[in-house]
């Protein structure tokens, strides 16, 4: 534990996580990126980060493999780490009709496959990477309850679910005596505010629901690095074939919103400079 790092409870649990976590979406996608994965995880640990997040879909499983290898080499006591992964998209959905979603089959088989790639007996948290419109929510809640009761994880959580979907999960868990989800991995930044600041208010007030925020800098857009074009070493340039990365860039920097976005970011940079902030 680093005295300079702040640790907080994750929602209404007794689990303490560093206020900054390390996630390996994109940065461990390729098999030849093992050394830089190791370097980033070592640096994160040295700064007091104890919360590490990955997902089955990141690099179609490669991210979990590299993360697990790095942890093994570092030989950090398992009980000092909080490790989470996420299930929904799978690694073989192009050929496996049951390889995506939150059915009992995919939740349990997906969790076992993730643990095998990570080289772990359990993870601390498993997130539902999205809401599954095709699977009965009771089935999903029962599947995650089973994972916890059988020691594959300690907690389960949601990601990008609406407040109504989470409230329905609470209702089903209370009705059938199942373990409730503890938080949502939600996008929250100066561009994306509605869900956290409006939609989740009752979840926070009534249930002390937790959040593990992703994209606090909007994929780097809020840093101002894209104000005058796309840097050669940037995420947008490196992952030019990634539809998610390119769609996010186009949303703010292409079409009718482009000039307004750049103008706002340049004004934000002035304010940041006055405050001595990045």
Q: How far apart are CA 140 and CA 108, in angstroms?
A: 10
Q: Mark whether 58 is an active-site residue.
A: yes
Nearest to residue 51, comparing CAs of 111, 96, 114, 9? 9
58, 188, 207, 252: which is the annotated catalytic residue? 58
Closest CA to 26 of 214, 240, 239: 239
Sequence-ordered list of residues with C-beta below 8 angstroms from that of 83, at least 6 positions apart, any chain: 52, 53, 54, 71, 118, 120, 123, 124, 125
Q: How far apart are CA 107 and CA 91, in angstroms?
A: 13
- Angle made by CA atoms 154, 58, 117, in degrees to the nearest 5: 60
3-state secondary structure of 199: helix
Backbone phi, then psi, for 262, in 5-degree steps? -65, -40
Half-sphere exposure of 60 (CA within 13 A, CB side): 8
Residue 225 burial class via C-beta count within 10 angstroms: exposed 0-12, middle 13-18, buried 19 and up: middle
First to last CA, the chain: 26
| Closest CA relative to residue 239, chosen from 43, 63, 59 | 59
What crossing angle do the helices spanning 137-149 and 104-118 adopt, rounded to 10°? Answer: 40
- Residues annotated as part of the active site: 58
């Amino acid at each position: 534990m680093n005295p300079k790092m702040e640790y907080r409870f994750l929602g209404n649990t007794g689990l303490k996580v560093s206020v900054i976590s390390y996630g390996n979406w994109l940065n461990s996608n390729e098999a030849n990126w093992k050394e830089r994965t190791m370097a980033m995880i070592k640096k994160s640990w040295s700064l007091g980060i104890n919360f590490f997040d990955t997902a089955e879909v990141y690099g179609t499983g490669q991210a979990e493999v590299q993360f697990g290898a790095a942890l093994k080499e570092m030989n950090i006591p398992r009980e000092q780490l909080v490790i989470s992964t996420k299930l929904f998209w799978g690694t073989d959905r192009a050929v496996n009709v049951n390889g995506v979603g939150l059915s009992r089959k995919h939740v349990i088989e997906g969790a076992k496959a993730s643990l095998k790639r990570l080289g772990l007996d359990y993870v601390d948290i498993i997130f539902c990477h999205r809401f599954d419109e095709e699977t009965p929510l009771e089935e999903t809640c029962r599947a995650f309850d089973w994972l916890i009761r059988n020691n594959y994880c300690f907690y389960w959580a949601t990601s990008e679910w609406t407040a109504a979907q989470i409230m329905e999960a609470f209702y089903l868990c209370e009705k059938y005596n199942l373990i409730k989800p503890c938080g949502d991995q939600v996008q929250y930044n100066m561009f994306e505010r509605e869900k956290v600041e409006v939609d989740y208010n009752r979840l926070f007030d009534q249930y002390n629901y937790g959040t593990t925020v992703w994209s606090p800098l909007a994929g780097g857009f809020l840093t101002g690095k894209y104000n005058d074009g796309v840097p050669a070493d940037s995420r947008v340039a490196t992952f030019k074939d990634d539809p998610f990365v390119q769609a996010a860039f186009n949303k703010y920097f292409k079409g009718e919103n482009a000039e307004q976005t750049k103008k706002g970011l340049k004004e934000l940079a002035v304010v940041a400079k006055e405050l001595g902030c990045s």
